[in-house]
């Protein structure tokens, strides 16, 4: 090896050793920084923030937790002892007012104020709910103008009109103190023999149902009212009214995904707050349980396949589809175990007691774990917080203003 070559090799060796040495030094320095951070570790670590809703849940009794998972009905036009008991003993989370509970605007305002006033002893404000869809499914007093059916709205097929219909419905019901509306209907009217949906649907075209239903939903939400869409996974292709019996549908998941579920999927993508589950038996999905009692429908399909994280509510558990086939207490436990968050019990004091106490017994006996209750409770309290619900007493309702606003919207679109 000549002299020049030897000098080159030596030089390269020195450079290489220097580079490797620096690399190891930097690596060791980094490792040392990771192992021994400068300063006090406690000062560097920020204390993790505690979710106030979790804190609230931690302070609640089992009775308070279970009560929040129920929306119940009333008997008659006034508060009675059983309604007071439901609030004071069972701590129920909400009420639904039906046509049989509403006589006129003054009476309606009075009974809602009474519910709120009685609930003042409880820490959590009430859901005050109603089915105000328009058309024949309207609970509002006769002094108020009527909203057209969804079928008529579907025939117009105007998204702006649908949005404004949702907005005026919300303005109307919120003026009395309602804060949750079981509407709009997202069922597709695909079966001419359907005895329960019909003109409650926007039509037989899935895109029209989806487009208009979502706009109505957004209109309702725009006024600070919670919109619960219904009836998942679709009541449009049934030939039995679930109020009197248990409908059965033979479609599988793939068939539903291609048609019935399209409006529900779209509503989830548009931030729906709550979805109501139907009392329908889907033989090819779960041959043993109607949707309201089925983890395959609620957990696997709705929450799993459709990635839905919001509130799940049952349809009324005192409808014939449940009462003619199940013990209501067993059905409620099964529904909560399947993934429902809120159970709707519209009729019968004894039914309400049985439903509430059966769920409590199931938790105390380990059939349902308390953390499962807490999971639903978190969603319930989260939505009440989101909409800033309060048991505020309303002194009066301006009926003329509501009617004028409604007439303006209806007349405008009538002329288009």
Catalytic residues: 243, 315
Q: Which of 383, 395, 370 is nearest to 61 (CA)?
A: 370
Tokens of 117: 């006033």
Residue 227 bridge partners (DSSP) = 181
Strand locations in 323-410 (E): 342-345
Q: Report the alpha-carbon distance of residue 264 to residue 272 in Å, rounded.
A: 9
Residue 239 bridge partners (DSSP) = none
Element spanning 162, H or E: helix 159-174
Contact 326, 278 (CB under 8 A): no
């Amino acid at each position: 090896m000549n002299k020049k070559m030897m000098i080159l090799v030596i030089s390269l060796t020195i450079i290489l050793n220097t580079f490797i040495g620096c690399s190891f030094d930097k690596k060791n320095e980094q490792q040392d920084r990771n192992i021994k951070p400068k300063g006090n570790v406690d000062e560097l670590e920020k204390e993790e923030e505690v979710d106030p809703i979790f804190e609230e849940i931690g302070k609640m009794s089992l009775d308070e937790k279970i009560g929040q998972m129920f929306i119940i009905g009333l008997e008659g036009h006034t508060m009675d002892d059983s309604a007071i008991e439901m609030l004071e003993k069972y701590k129920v989370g909400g009420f639904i007012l039906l046509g049989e509970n509403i006589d006129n605007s003054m009476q309606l305002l009075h009974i809602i104020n009474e519910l709120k006033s009685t609930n003042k002893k409880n820490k959590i404000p009430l859901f005050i709910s109603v089915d105000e869809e328009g058309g024949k499914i309207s609970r509002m007093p006769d002094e108020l103008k009527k909203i057209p059916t969804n079928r008529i709205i579907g025939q117009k097929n105007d998204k702006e009109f649908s949005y404004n219909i949702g907005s005026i419905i919300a303005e109307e019901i919120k003026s009395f103190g309602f804060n949750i509306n079981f509407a709009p209907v997202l069922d597709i009217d695909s079966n001419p023999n359907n005895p329960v949906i019909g003109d409650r649907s926007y039509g037989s075209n899935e895109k029209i149902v989806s487009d208009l239903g979502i706009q109505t939903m957004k209109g309702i939400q725009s006024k600070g009212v919670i919109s619960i869409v219904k009836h998942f996974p679709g009541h449009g292709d049934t030939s039995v009214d679930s109020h009197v019996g248990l409908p059965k549908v033979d479609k599988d998941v793939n068939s539903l995904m291609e048609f019935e579920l399209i409006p529900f999927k779209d509503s989830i993508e548009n931030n729906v707050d709550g979805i109501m589950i139907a009392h329908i038996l889907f033989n090819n999905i779960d041959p043993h349980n109607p949707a309201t009692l089925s983890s395959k429908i609620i957990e696997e399909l709705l929450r799993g396949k459709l990635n839905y994280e919001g509130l799940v509510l049952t349809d009324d558990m005192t409808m014939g589809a449940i009462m003619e086939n199940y013990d209501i207490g067993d059905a409620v436990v099964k529904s909560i175990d399947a993934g429902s968050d809120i159970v709707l019990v519209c009729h019968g004091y004894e039914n309400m007691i049985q439903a509430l106490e059966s769920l409590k017994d199931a938790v105390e006996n380990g059939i349902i774990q308390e953390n499962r209750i807490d999971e639903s409770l978190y969603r319930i309290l989260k939505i009440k917080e989101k909409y800033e619900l309060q048991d505020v007493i309303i002194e009066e309702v301006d009926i003329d203003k509501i009617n004028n606003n409604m007439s303006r919207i209806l007349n405008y679109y009538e002329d288009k």
